[in-house]
Homo-oligomer: A and B are copies of this chain.
């Protein structure tokens, strides 16, 4: 069950995200042996290495030579820790893009950066987006995109729609890649092999598949040609990203033209 932080808790969360804490005058008691940043880094390391599902307070604590409970001195709950991981990870993205080549080139660069970023940290896609995090790096990412799109001259309502569309598209596309990567690596078979097995299984379990879903069969049949050594699925996914982005940007140009 997702629990939403109350008023006071919200303030605490935001303070953590924005790192607004006075250093504090010297006070009694032992010096902190850990810090929020150290903990968040350790948690990200666990997630990168073993995936989101394997992330537990005990495991993060262990990595730092502590018990899981020690973390609660620095972080109110696991949920907050995940928010902090999310925002911190976003920090590795660029914050500004060159507009010399026009907005279209810049948006393309932005989208490709984000796309690759999600592929580098696939666990981010599993972070429940049930709540906006509102951290500094999330805003920085938004800022960088809006700064580009303002060049189009679109007014805010239309521009907001384009922003959402871009975020949804990149996230969705990245998710598809994560799928096609995760499955083979976990089973030890190549993705080509995996899909072959899968489609054979389909014919076995759903005889007459092609007759029942003629359009699906048609659209999947006429294949693109993968480059040398490029895995089949990888090719399809890259192709979908490129095509999708082109279509999307063409649509933006239409909107720009319409004023």
Interface SS of chain A: helix, strand, loop or mixed?
Answer: helix
Q: A139-B216, A173-B168, A250-B251 are in contact. Are A205 and B14 (CB under 8 A)?
A: yes
Which residues of chain B have C-beta atoms less than 8 A from A165's C-beta? 169, 240, 243-244, 247-248
Q: A1-B51, A201-B10 are in contact. Are A142 and B216 (CB under 8 A)?
A: yes
What band does the interface of chain A fall in when counting residues whose beta carbon is under 8 Å from B?
35 or more
Contact B182 A172 (CB under 8 A): no
Contact B161 A247 (CB under 8 A): yes
Interface centre among A126, A142, A173, A243 (most CB of B within 10 A): A243
| Interface pick from A37-45, A81-89, A151-159 | A151-159
Interface centre among A10, A11, A169, A224 (most CB of B within 10 A): A169
Which residues of chain B have C-beta atoms less than 8 A from A161's C-beta? 239-244, 246-247
Within the complex, which residue of B158, B186, B244 is in contact with A2, where a contact is CB–CB below 8 Å?
B186
Contact B50 A1 (CB under 8 A): yes
Residue A3 lies at the interface, judged by CB distance under 8 Å to chain B: yes
| Interface pick from A28-36, A62-70, A99-107, A128-136 | A128-136
Which residues of chain B have C-beta atoms less than 8 A from A11's C-beta? 201, 204-205
Contact A252 B247 (CB under 8 A): yes
Within the complex, which residue of B54, B146, B204 is in contact with A215, where a contact is CB–CB below 8 Å?
B146
Q: Mark A196-220, 1 if CB is under 8 A from B, else 0.
A: 0110011011100000011110111
Docked complex Cα distance between A140 and B186 (Å): 28
Contact B255 A247 (CB under 8 A): yes
Docked complex Cα distance between A126 and B246 (Å): 29
Docked complex Cα distance between A247 and B163 (Å): 11
Give residues 150-188 of A contacting B (CB, 8 Å).
150, 155-165, 167-169, 171-173, 175-176, 178-179, 182-183, 186-187
Residue A6 lies at the interface, judged by CB distance under 8 Å to chain B: yes
